[in-house]
Structure 1
Amino acid sequence: MKNIILSILLVTFTIGFTNAQSKKVQTKFSIDKIVTNYLALKNALTKDETKAVASAGKTLYATFNAVKTNAIDAKLKKDYLDIAESAKENAEHIGDNAGKLDHQREHFVLLSKDINDLIKLFGTKQKLYQDYCPMADEGKGAIWISEVKEIKNPYYGSNMLTCGSIKKTL
């Protein structure tokens, strides 16, 4: 009888522990979808496709709005919210300005800094590159994040597609 009770307790404990572990995995926060939508926006900019850029900006904005912040570790939540507020504003601006490629690119400078900050904060499973264009942002220089090693400049698109360099691998 003791063996049966101990077996039942052991099985119950194991099931409870397994469920607790699976809940931890399910609530782990990831910025993968944010990064994927940012990359779509970046790629549209490299092709000078202002309507596709606007559409991607709206998608990225919606992605930020759909984030369940309760899944974010309490220590990181305030930083996430600060970065996300800025990123959402820039994504929204990009989305609302189809036909104004220069204006979209101005906001992309700030959005790229925000995405870079999110990657620093949460990391990424995907191999990414932080690229740099010294001429962007009125000669101040600006970074962007890319999924490919080849330089495809979103700040100048077809005018200077290969202008820039890889600053670091993320």
Structure 2
Amino acid sequence: MKNIILSILLVTFTIGSSNAQNTKVKSQFSIDKIVTNYLTLKNALTKDDAKSAASAGKVLYAAFNTVNVNSIDAKLKKDYLDIAESAKENAEHIGDNAGKIDHQREHFVSLSKDINDLIKLFGTKQKLYQDFCPMADDGKGAIWISEIKDIKNPYYGSKMLTCGSMRKAL
């Protein structure tokens, strides 16, 4: 009888420890570095600085490559990998097109959706805003993520810097 009770206690303790470790693994993963690099890219586009945007695109691409996917909760891992694949492709295009700001901005539309999806999936410690430009993406409209309340439009830069609106705080 003692052995059965000890066995049950051992199994209970092991399961409890395992659950605690799983929670810890999930909480160790953060998209903060990705978001910070995205914001650097966004800010370069608001200033019409294609060279800095390209540099930031390369840094963002590298940030995705440093992610330890094994630190992501198993339930979220597939979603992360799908989003990251798209985001990396867009960051790479932006990084490879230093002299073509219009092309960079085209890829920024998709990249911004990817970053928004990552924020929805993992959250962020930073106060961020989802902004919207109705004229971006050939009049279809597009979102971007910003760290400031004021509108600084990365899709049109100096041409229409304050065009757009804040959709929501994240």
TM-score range, shorter chain: 0.7 to 0.9
- CA shift, 1:158, in A, is 0.3
Identity %: 83
Q: Which residue identity lines up with residue 42 of structure 1 in the other structure?
A: K
Match of 1:51 in 2: 51
Match of 2:77 in 1: 77
- What is the alpha-carbon distance in structure 2 between the residues aligned to residue 143 and residue 58 of structure 1? 21
Give CA deviations for 1:107-161 in whole Å, capped at 9, x if unaligned: 0000000000000000011000000000000000000000000000000000000
Given the alignment of the two structures, is residue 117 of structure 1 paired with residue 117 of structure 2, yes or no?
yes
- What is the alpha-carbon distance in structure 2 between the residues aligned to residue 137 and residue 105 of structure 1? 9
Match of 1:147 in 2: 147
Match of 2:14 in 1: none
- What is the alpha-carbon distance in structure 1 between the residues aligned to residue 26 and residue 88 of structure 2? 25
- CA shift, 1:24, in A, is 2.6
Match of 1:24 in 2: 24
- CA shift, 1:28, in A, is 1.4
Q: Which residue identity lines up with residue 78 of structure 1 in the other structure?
A: K
How many residues end up aligned between the 2 structures?
Answer: 152
- What is the alpha-carbon distance in structure 2 between the residues aligned to residue 99 and residue 62 of structure 1? 20
Match of 2:108 in 1: 108
Q: Extract unaligned runs of 5+ from structure 2.
A: 1-16
- CA shift, 1:25, in A, is 6.8
Q: Which residue identity lines up with residue 115 of structure 1 in the other structure?
A: I
Q: Which residue identity lines up with residue 155 of structure 2 in the other structure?
A: Y
Q: Which residue identity lines up with residue 51 of structure 1 in the other structure?
A: K
Tell whether the 8 Å contact from 2:25 to 2:71 is kept in structure 1 after alignment.
no
- CA shift, 1:27, in A, is 6.2
Tell me the secondary structure at the aligned position of residue 153 of structure 1. Answer: coil
Q: Extract unaligned runs of 5+ from structure 1.
A: 1-16
Give CA deviations for 1:42-100 in whole Å, capped at 9, x if unaligned: 00000000000000000000000010000000000000000000000000000000010
- What is the alpha-carbon distance in structure 2 between the residues aligned to residue 54 and residue 148 of structure 1? 22
| TM-score relative to the length of structure 1 | 0.86
Superposed CA RMSD in Å reads 1.8
| TM-score relative to the length of structure 2 | 0.86
Tell whether the 8 Å contact from 2:26 to 2:73 is kept in structure 1 after alignment.
no
Given the alignment of the two structures, is residue 135 of structure 1 paired with residue 135 of structure 2, yes or no?
yes
Q: Which residue identity lines up with residue 149 of structure 2 in the other structure?
A: K
Match of 1:4 in 2: none
- What is the alpha-carbon distance in structure 1 between the residues aligned to residue 131 and residue 35 of structure 2? 15
- What is the alpha-carbon distance in structure 2 between the residues aligned to residue 26 and residue 164 of structure 1? 35
Match of 1:98 in 2: 98
- What is the alpha-carbon distance in structure 2 between the residues aligned to residue 73 and residue 27 of structure 1? 9
